């Protein structure tokens, strides 16, 4: 058996999308006792991949240098202490600390899920990172409960697409979203079924949220923007609201932004940042179990949809990254490996 494989590498270690290339001499991973070696069929792109490619993402120490955290494929080997429910030849999908942009990945069996026959390789490769992140933000950090209202920023992003579906299925009093393009706003309302979506660049979305909630504001806000939305989030939140920050698309510095933090006391707000990739395996494993319990049956029944914007071949990974950088997508970008 060959000790090397094909994997996506980066010329000079970091760089633009055009620095990506297929390295046919990448060492093939060797699974540890609790891991499986999976032959990758497809992997999903995430915005963290762009940041990591540019050298701007803090990669966990246990992660390989190869990009990619979600994938689908077939188990080719198992370690001695892997979960008993998995065997060689099983079709699976899962979450990893890194290494998914490759023909093979070694990953803990605690982060694998059996692939249902009803879903394609491409669909399954787009589930783990986005849906687990949405579950974590909504429930573990945001404290969502049925009857609460919720606002998802970047509403056409994969995490928010998952979150909007989860919110509607679990009895949210109101589901709201923002996006930066009118066609995305319409799509969020018409296709995903949000109660209202707002163009955050051309409208007063804070006032729109207040009008939609009869002045109350929203109970949970999931934000990927950061500094630019810090004050608006405080204004849009309801009393005892929770604001969950997952990203900094709008920067990290509040200098000169006229921030008034009175709402933290006046509304008793909680603002909390979170991440998934830096969490330990036990934490991620619990979220894997929740995904299987809460979402997997609804994927199989068709109630939950995995929206795949476009599928690329392995040698089109540069084009895939460039499309993600354009911010014009609605849903997942997937790469398949023949």
34: buried, middle or exposed (CB in 10 Å: 19+, 13-18, 0-12)? middle
125 φψ region: left (φ > 0), alpha (ψ -120 to 50), beta (else): alpha
- Assess whether pLDDT exceeds 90 at residue 58: no
Proportion of the chain above pLDDT 70, given as a percent: 99
83 plus 97 within the same structural domain: yes
Same domain, 111 and 168: no
Closest CA to 232 of 272, 196, 260, 273: 260
What does the pLDDT look like over 167-185, one tens digit per residue?
999 999 999 999 999 999 9
Q: Which of 223, 242, 273 lies at the terminal end of a domain, its last residue?
A: 273
Q: Per the structure, how many domains does the chain have?
A: 2
What is the dihedral angle through the alpha carbons of 35, 125, 200, 244, rounded to the nearest 10 degrees? -20
Last residue of a domain, one of 225, 253, 273: 273
Residues 171 and 259 in one domain: yes
In tens, the pLDDT along 79-138 reads 999 999 999 999 999 999 999 999 999 999 999 999 999 999 999 999 999 999 999 999
If asked whether residues 220 and 255 sit together in one domain, one would say: yes
Same domain for 219 and 315, yes or no, is: no
Residue 335 has pLDDT above 80, yes or no: yes
What are φ and ψ of residue 70, in 5° steps?
-135, 145
Return the CATH number at 209.
Answer: 3.40.50.720
Of 252, 273, 294, which residue sits at a domain end? 273
pLDDT of residue 1: 61
Give the pLDDT confidence of 269-305 residue by residue, as tens digits.
Answer: 999 999 898 898 888 989 999 999 999 999 999 999 9
Question: SS3 helix, strand, coil % of the chain, rounded to 5?
Answer: 30, 25, 40
Tell whether 24 and 115 lie within a shared domain.
yes
120 and 135: one domain? Answer: no
Q: Are residues 154 and 51 in the same domain?
A: no
10 and 73 share a domain?
A: yes
Report pLDDT for 249.
87
Question: What is the pLDDT of the chain when averaged over all its residues?
Answer: 96
Distance CA 262, CA 255 (A): 17
The pLDDT value given to residue 281: 87
Note down the domain range covering 121.
4-127+279-336
- Please state the rounded mean pLDDT for residues 218-227: 96
pLDDT of residue 257 exceeding 80: no
Question: For 298-310, how does the pLDDT look when each residue is reduced to its tens digit (9 = 90+)?
Answer: 999 999 999 999 9
Domain co-membership, 118 together with 177: no
Whether the predicted pLDDT of 258 surpasses 90: no
């Amino acid at each position: 058996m060959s000790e090397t494989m094909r994997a996506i590498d980066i010329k000079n270690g970091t760089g633009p999308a055009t620095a990506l290339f297929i390295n046919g001499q990448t060492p093939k991973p060797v699974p540890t006792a609790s891991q499986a070696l999976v032959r990758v069929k497809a992997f999903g792109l995430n915005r963290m991949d762009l940041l990591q490619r540019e050298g701007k993402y803090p990669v966990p120490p246990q992660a390989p240098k190869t990009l990619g955290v979600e994938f689908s494929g077939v188990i080719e080997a198992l370690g001695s202490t892997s979960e008993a429910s998995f065997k060689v030849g099983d079709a699976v999908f899962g979450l990893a600390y890194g290494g998914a942009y490759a023909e093979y990945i070694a990953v803990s069996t605690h982060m694998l899920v059996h692939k249902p026959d009803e879903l394609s390789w491409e669909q399954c490769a787009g589930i783990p990172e986005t849906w687990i992140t949405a579950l974590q933000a909504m429930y573990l950090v945001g404290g969502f409960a049925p009857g609460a209202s919720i606002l998802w920023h970047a509403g056409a992003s994969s995490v928010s697409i998952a979150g909007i579906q989860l919110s509607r299925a679990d009895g949210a009093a109101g589901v709201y979203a923002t996006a930066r393009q009118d066609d995305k706003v319409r799509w969020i309302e018409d296709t995903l079924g949000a109660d209202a979506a707002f163009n955050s660049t051309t409208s007063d979305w804070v006032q729109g949220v207040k009008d939609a909630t009869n002045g109350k504001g929203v109970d949970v806000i999931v934000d990927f923007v950061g500094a630019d939305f810090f004050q608006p989030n405080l204004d849009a939140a309801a009393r005892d609201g929770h604001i969950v920050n997952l990203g900094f698309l709008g920067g990290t510095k509040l200098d000169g932004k006229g921030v008034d933090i009175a709402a933290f006391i006046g509304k008793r707000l909680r603002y909390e940042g979170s991440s998934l990739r830096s969490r330990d395996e036990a934490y991620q494993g619990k979220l894997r179990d929740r995904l299987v319990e809460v979402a997997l049956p609804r994927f199989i029944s068709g109630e939950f949809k995995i929206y795949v914007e476009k599928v690329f071949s392995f040698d089109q990974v540069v084009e895939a990254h460039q499309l993600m950088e354009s911010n014009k997508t609605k849903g997942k970008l997937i790469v398949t490996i023949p």
